[in-house]
With several copies, the nearest count.
Chain A
């Protein structure tokens, strides 16, 4: 097992990895930018090294500085967390070639799954249903017209290098196909320096359901059941839960098995998430694989009792998973609310600043993962998430009641947060009866609905 691990990240996920390391008896080494000098991950790590000025591009994204820190701290492995360099195959490669284990899949697996087209072909190869569409990129407009006609309008135009909704366009009818195609191409070129786009069937009112998987180097591939992340605003997840409130057992089995096939076919070692969209008939379509640990991993941890970060470290060290698929049951219901320093009433604009006072919720069934505390200053340089409030109770009704109570108890003075949004969604009829789709918030939410 590793003796010392460097965490190439910040905030709550850095804290999360430090916790796993400490429980495993592994020394943790934090890196930080000058903006995070006083941050909790710096205080709680066994050692911390400053890797640059506040801006992410000058610190947490500086591969040479991270590797240099790993060298001077003499670590065995590097955990990338999520975001920053987590899915950067070059960084992954750089770690390994510098003699550090990268806690995640191989650069090859990461690259293949990172490219939507390659991933799609792999899915088809594994009999994992994909959204009908153009197999491969759309070179010219005529081809686009044929494919669109074949799979039927409305069609979705997606950038091959895209993500988070960028370079994505819907063509409702043939006459707007060309203009939307151009728009998507330009957006993709600007955002990713790659104008390659493809077409696919536009699934209306889809649910976002993803399956947590983890594989070791001994041929074990296990799933930890699904997460429903349909509560999204402009493609940004805000609430995640496990299990999905609206998925028949057969559908769940099928989707989890498909996820396992997908990973098993990718010679993949580590934790990952296979994302699907699910339509009203519970037909599901593969979207992409996230080759990293995700923000919402705790809901899967709570319903299974598995510590995913510890398992990540274990399999990266060449050890087998500490459990078998048959050991896992999905126990109770877990819900996570992302607490972001954003003003829900003002278009979710970020609200960095100093937390004048804070009280963290406690009690039965409540887990609060956060690096924030009284006096903490939320820096303006990074994403605005300051904590994750997660509950786990025997039933969904109890979980929702506990989450409302905990949101009420969480007191953060000095900055605005997404708590008011969560109070709204947790009382929304569609959420309560589990019928929210990924466009629901964009359709229904407006500042007026906030108390």
Chain B
């Protein structure tokens, strides 16, 4: 479609817009904003979703990343349930199920529960989070390969904070 134009084709191409709009409806997007060089397509739909408005109203101070990049923090993360993370396709993050102190190893001498490259399964213990003197072993609740450890040993973590990035199987 865009072969005729280096700009990525005619942005005013109705068919393409229709396709985008259908996508928006299907996936309940509230806004689409595409630009390339001088070209730009921006579509917003219905009323904004709860996350976006605040970010819009407070572009500078908002701790959340811009709406275009999905924010793991804002993703509902009940318990250690792994949640989709869009910035690296095919990967998910294991988020903290509670406030507490993150321990990557059972004790200072022993090796980490998991290291980058290691394969994990639903019941693999990936870390301990200590809260109120209780040491909670956190299971992976997903299976795949650890590609990144996102929290530092003995770092304070809060609810929903990403701890590990995992390349999911299959």
Q: Does A51 count as interface, using CB distance less than 8 angstroms?
A: yes
Which of A148-156, A177-185, A265-273, A351-359 lies on the face that meets chain B?
A: A351-359
Which residues of chain B are within 8 angstroms of A71 by Cβ–Cβ distance?
Answer: 100-101, 131-132
Nearest-neighbor residue (CB-CB) of A35 within chain B: B63
Q: Which of B54, B64, B159 contacts A52 (CB 8 A)?
A: B159
Known contacts: A53-B76, A357-B59. The answer to whether A375 contacts B131 by CB under 8 A is no
**B158 and A354 form a contact (CB under 8 A):** no
Which of B1-9, B45-53, B117-125, B142-150 lies on the face that meets chain A?
A: B45-53
In angstroms, Cα B159 to Cα A49, docked, is 8
**B54 and A357 form a contact (CB under 8 A):** yes
Which residues of chain A are within 8 angstroms of B88 by Cβ–Cβ distance?
Answer: none
In angstroms, Cα B169 to Cα A41, docked, is 40
**B156 and A73 form a contact (CB under 8 A):** yes
**A375 and B132 form a contact (CB under 8 A):** no
**B131 and A64 form a contact (CB under 8 A):** yes
Q: Which of B57, B76, B101 contacts A376 (CB 8 A)?
A: B57
Q: Smallest distance from the beta carbon of B29 to chain A beta carbons, Å?
A: 17
Known contacts: A50-B159, A69-B158. The answer to whether A374 contacts B57 by CB under 8 A is yes
Mask, A70-95, CB within 8 Å of B = 1, is 01110000000000000000000000
Q: Does A283 count as interface, using CB distance less than 8 angstroms?
A: no
In angstroms, Cα B63 to Cα A347, docked, is 28
Mask, A347-376, CB within 8 Å of B = 1, is 000000010111100000000000001111
Q: Does A379 count as interface, using CB distance less than 8 angstroms?
A: yes
Which residues of chain A are within 8 angstroms of B76 by Cβ–Cβ distance?
Answer: 34, 53
**B63 and A38 form a contact (CB under 8 A):** yes
Mask, A406-424, CB within 8 Å of B = 1, is 0000010110000000000
Known contacts: A37-B73, A38-B62, A50-B159. The answer to whether A357 contacts B100 by CB under 8 A is no
**B158 and A51 form a contact (CB under 8 A):** yes
In angstroms, Cα B51 to Cα A379, docked, is 11
Nearest-neighbor residue (CB-CB) of A357 within chain B: B57
User: Which residues of B106-163 are within 8 A (CB) of A?
Assistant: 131-132, 156-161
**B78 and A53 form a contact (CB under 8 A):** yes
In angstroms, Cα B133 to Cα A98, docked, is 10
In angstroms, Cα B157 to Cα A73, docked, is 10
Which residues of chain A are within 8 angstroms of B160 by Cβ–Cβ distance?
Answer: 34, 50
Which of A35, A52, A376, A377 lies at the interface centre, i.e. has the most chain B CB atoms within 10 A of its CB? A377
Count of interface residues, chain A, beta-carbon cutoff 8 Å: 36
Known contacts: A64-B132, A354-B47, A377-B50. The answer to whether A38 contacts B55 by CB under 8 A is yes
Which residues of chain B are within 8 angstroms of A411 by Cβ–Cβ distance?
Answer: 53, 57-58, 61
Q: Does A220 count as interface, using CB distance less than 8 angstroms?
A: no
In angstroms, Cα B73 to Cα A42, docked, is 14
Nearest-neighbor residue (CB-CB) of B100 within chain A: A68
Q: Does A43 count as interface, using CB distance less than 8 angstroms?
A: yes
In angstroms, Cα B43 to Cα A210, docked, is 54
**A37 and B63 form a contact (CB under 8 A):** yes
Q: Smallest distance from the beta carbon of A190 to chain B beta carbons, Å?
A: 29
Which of B54, B61, B132, B157 lies at the interface centre, i.e. has the most chain A CB atoms within 10 A of its CB? B54
In angstroms, Cα B100 to Cα A359, docked, is 32
Known contacts: A38-B64, A49-B158, A356-B60. The answer to whether A375 contacts B54 by CB under 8 A is yes
Q: Does A67 count as interface, using CB distance less than 8 angstroms?
A: yes
Q: Does B56 count as interface, using CB distance less than 8 angstroms?
A: yes
In angstroms, Cα B97 to Cα A53, docked, is 10
**A38 and B50 form a contact (CB under 8 A):** yes
In angstroms, Cα B83 to Cα A273, docked, is 46
Q: Which of B57, B98, B101, B161 contacts A65 (CB 8 A)?
A: B98
**A356 and B58 form a contact (CB under 8 A):** yes
Which of A65, A98, A354 lies at the interface centre, i.e. has the most chain B CB atoms within 10 A of its CB? A354
User: Which residues of A57-71 are within 8 A (CB) of B?
Assistant: 58-59, 64-65, 67-69, 71
Which residues of chain B are within 8 angstroms of A43 by Cβ–Cβ distance?
Answer: 53, 56, 58, 61
Which residues of chain A are within 8 angstroms of B24 by Cβ–Cβ distance?
Answer: none
**B57 and A358 form a contact (CB under 8 A):** yes
Which residues of chain A are within 8 angstroms of B62 by Cβ–Cβ distance?
Answer: 38, 354, 377
Which residues of chain A are within 8 angstroms of B54 by Cβ–Cβ distance?
Answer: 38, 356-357, 375-377, 413-414
Q: Does B99 count as interface, using CB distance less than 8 angstroms?
A: yes
28 contacts between A and B (CB under 8 A): A34-B76, A35-B63, A38-B50, A38-B54, A38-B62, A43-B56, A49-B159, A53-B76, A65-B98, A67-B132, A69-B99, A71-B100, A71-B101, A71-B131, A71-B132, A98-B132, A357-B53, A357-B59, A357-B61, A358-B57, A374-B57, A374-B58, A374-B59, A376-B54, A377-B62, A379-B63, A413-B59, A413-B60
Which A residues contact B (CB, under 8 angstroms)?
A: 34-35, 37-38, 42-43, 49-53, 58-59, 64-65, 67-69, 71-73, 98, 354, 356-359, 373-377, 379, 411, 413-414
Which B residues contact A (CB, under 8 angstroms)?
A: 47-48, 50-51, 53-64, 73-74, 76-78, 98-101, 131-132, 156-161
